[in-house]
Amino acid sequence: MAVAVILLSVVFPFLLWKLISRPRSPSPLKSVAGPEKEHWFKGNYHRIFQDGLKYNLQLVRKYGGVIKIHALLGKEQLYVSDPLALHYIVVKEQHIYTETDMFIAGNKLIFGEGLISTLGEQHRKQRKMLNPVFSLANMRELLPVIQPIAFKMRSVLLSQLPTDGNSQEVDVLPWMSRGTLEYISQAGLGYTFNALEPTRSHSFTEAIKSLAPAALKLLLLRPFVPLAVRNLSVYWRNKLVDWSPVQPLRDLRRIVEIMDKSSRKIFFEKKAELENPTTETIDNEAIKSEGNLGDRMKGKDIMTILLKANASSDSTERLTEAELLGQMNTVIFAGFETSTIAISRLLYILASERTVQARIRNELRRAKLDYAASRDIPLDGSWNDIELPYDVLMSLPYLDAVVRETLRVYPPTSLLSRTARETTTLPLQYPILSATTGEKVNSVVVPEGTTVIISILAANHNKTVWGEDASEWRPERWLSDSGERVRLNQDREQLDGTFGDGAEGSAGATPGNRGGVKYPGVYASMMTFLGGGRACIGFKFAEMEIKQIITTLISSMHFSLPSLRDEMVIRKRYTGR
């Protein structure tokens, strides 16, 4: 039986996939140079995905902006960081370079019909409905409503410190993760999973936290997902999972079931509330379950705005119930790990760079005192409890420079992939040397079915675009000589997928725009949030969340590195009142 199970669940699909994906000969990418295959199964993937920045930058230094690499089973793919080539992939020919089948099929099974599981017209329709939900106007309204979460994070950390103002080592990482989960669930769904309550746990919290680790363990099975979805009914897919000896597969199904159950419950409560707005307190209390924030969010959460917009839209543009449900887990998942990584990295940098931390604190104190004075806000308590409105917080020059630079040098998502759905030509900004003739070439033919890896990491570290110090963390690059914020036209509120118009001053005057060449990213020319029609829809939210959490924490505490390497701690409570 065990042998049959292994044959059925692992070996058979493996052989089948190997058969159907046998490389055609001669190699259609033979003229593109790249590293030798380093492992019969892993190709170069283990080096690219595990060996980090150094290996990735070495590759680019040696071969240029388009490189032939070997994926699993030696399949040839392209690794791209050239600015013009990326403009073609994510903007100009985004209809050709779509998400891989593996990505779409896997996401659909996990998240349902949300943004990260759909393609073409369906995705366009969803984006059209969702883009206004993430508008600047909505972010402005959301900021004060979610400020209590940052205060709660602060009080949880302060409660672990001695009251005499002395230092204490505290592992802050789990609290950053709990905090961002609370942010996205309250702001996204108008719901609390009480992730910041030390003694309470919720099955959804545990499920979402274990989703990425479980999916990671199944990385090698992911290529079989489209095959399974195409050829097996739900019944047989479930049976395969039941029989499979692969525990993470069964874990993943359990996680998906928990997430699905919670989102359905929240969704139908929300719908019922919106459909019965007049039966306010008594009836609504009856449908509200524990965790439902109801009036506290004042209808400003992303899901409520989306449901209202959907209900009042033209029937041809309206999203189905399945599509609305699909957005819930999608938004939570997309906005949780990424923001946790960004905030944790930033806190780590601030703990290492104490002068940077002090400079942000000073900038913040000045801004809060000025704001209080301009609004006649009495200073009863300490300056750090004054809440800055969205526009003031977002335009603090030094804080902004530090956040941008951190997101550029350490992008939380570093590599993405796309598949070319038809044969096309990829033009290059910077020529590469042909592997067959040794001559410079300005474009590469990409055969139908080729997978391209978008290297956000290499793009954000490209010396030709960012300067010789591209890999240095230097926030000053985002500031003028007088310490003002460098203005960039590319900080577009509109997520329309257009390429930057290059109008921000003379060539080379702004970061990421050397000699007029820049990347098509939605955020400050960097590729951290991608660009084009599938750029991160939540980047304004992420920026706001990072700034709100960091400023709330560092206005009340000093952070420094721990005595043990690679651990993060709070050293000392801030007493500068």
Question: Would you tell me which residues interact with ligand HEM (CB under 6 A)?
Answer: 115-116, 127, 184, 188, 330-331, 334-335, 338-339, 342, 412-413, 416, 528-530, 534, 536-538, 541-542
Cβ distance to ligand HEM smaller for residue 13 or 335: 335
User: Rounded to whole angstroms, how far apart are CA atoms 408 and 473?
Assistant: 9
Cis-peptide into 26, omega within 30 deg: yes
Q: How far is CA 43 from CA 60, 71, 215, 230, in A?
A: 17, 5, 21, 27
In the complex, least distance from residue 137 CB atom to ligand HEM, rounded to whole angstroms: 16
* Residue closer to ligand HEM, measured from CB, 161 or 522: 522
Q: In the bound complex, what is the minimum distance in angstroms from residue 542's beta carbon to ligand HEM?
A: 4
Q: Which is nearer to ligand HEM, 100 or 434 (CB)?
A: 100
Token readout for 428 is 């290059």
* Kind of pairing between the strands at 66-70 and 440-446: unpaired
CB of 117 to ligand HEM, least distance (A): 9
Residue number with CB closer to ligand HEM (63 or 204): 204
Tokens coding 383: 């300056």
DSSP tag of 98: E
The smaller minimum CB distance to ligand HEM, of residues 223 and 335, is found at 335
Q: Quick one: how many helices (H) and strands (E) in the chain?
A: 22, 9
Residue 537: CB minimum distance to ligand HEM, A = 5
Cα separation, 179 vs 335, in Å, equals 12
Q: What are phi and psi of 2, to 5 degrees?
A: -60, -40
Judge contact between 43 and 69, C-beta under 8 A: yes
In angstroms, rounded to a whole number, what is the distance separating the alpha carbons of residues 344 and 341? Answer: 5
Closest residue by beta carbon to ligand HEM: 538
Q: What is the DSSP string of 387-435?
A: PPPHHHHHT-HHHHHHHHHHHHHS-SS-EEEEEESS-EEEEEEEEEEBT
In the complex, least distance from residue 350 CB atom to ligand HEM, rounded to whole angstroms = 16
Given the complex with ligand HEM, which of 248 and 335 has the nearer CB atom? Answer: 335
The closest of 467, 476, 486 to 524, measured between CA atoms, is 486
Whole-number minimum distance, CB 342 to ligand HEM, in Å? Answer: 4
Beta-ladder partners of 191:
292
Residue type present at position 167: S
Nearer CB in complex with ligand HEM: 48/416: 416
Cβ distance to ligand HEM smaller for residue 328 or 351: 328
97 sits in which H/E element: strand 97-99
- CB nearer to ligand HEM: give 386 or 535: 535
Q: What span, in angstroms and rounded, lies between the C-alpha atoms of 558 and 570?
A: 7
Q: With CA atoms as reference, report the closest residue to 64 among 442, 467, 552, 344.
A: 442
- Considering the complex, state which of residue 202 and residue 547 has its C-beta at the smaller distance from ligand HEM: 547
**Angle formed at CA 538 by CA 451 and CA 406, multiple of 5 degrees:** 80
Of the pair 9, 107, the CB lying nearest ligand HEM is at: 107
d(CA 427, CA 438): 18
For 227-250, b/e burial (b = at least 16 CB within 10 A) is bbbeeeeeeebeebeeebebebbe
